Amino acid sequence: MPKRSYPFDGVTPQQLKIHVGQREMCESVLGERYKQEIFEKTKKLLFSGAKSVLQNAEHQNGKEEDHCTVPELLNGQTIIGQDGKLHRNTQAPKSLNMGNSKACSFCVRSVGENEACSQCERSVCKRCCMSCNCCSAAICSFCRVA
């Protein structure tokens, strides 16, 4: 079977794939209008962001003047909520048997009820317990910062 003949004459320009980016758009025929649109959009975003930051700062300053509270530290297992903040894990299993003695998480010695790491709430005996350099709280070796 013979090849098909070329339907176009030899003077047609060759078609190539061309990437058109922001630089090409800015240098095109309507480049000034495109640059002005980008400038206006950027200026609008900057001013709206600055306005929201100022409103947020005023809102927080007003709240702090009413009452000054120290946020509660979250010990143990925490999860990141939908709002992006840390929340206490409500699904974490609590101690079921309060009367039974617990064992140390590291050396398996028996531990009293009050002996636990202040950060992760693991049961820790007095031999495996350490003192935090910053706050002097009782911590385990997993929570120790080198």
Write the burial class of residue 119 (CB in 10 Å: 0-12 exposed, 13-18 middle, 19+ buried).
buried
Per-residue pLDDT reduced to its tens digit, 80-128: 777 767 677 766 455 444 455 677 877 877 777 667 788 887 788 888 8
Per-residue pLDDT reduced to its tens digit, 47-70: 988 888 888 777 776 654 444 454
- pTM higher than the cut 0.75: no
pLDDT at 103: 79
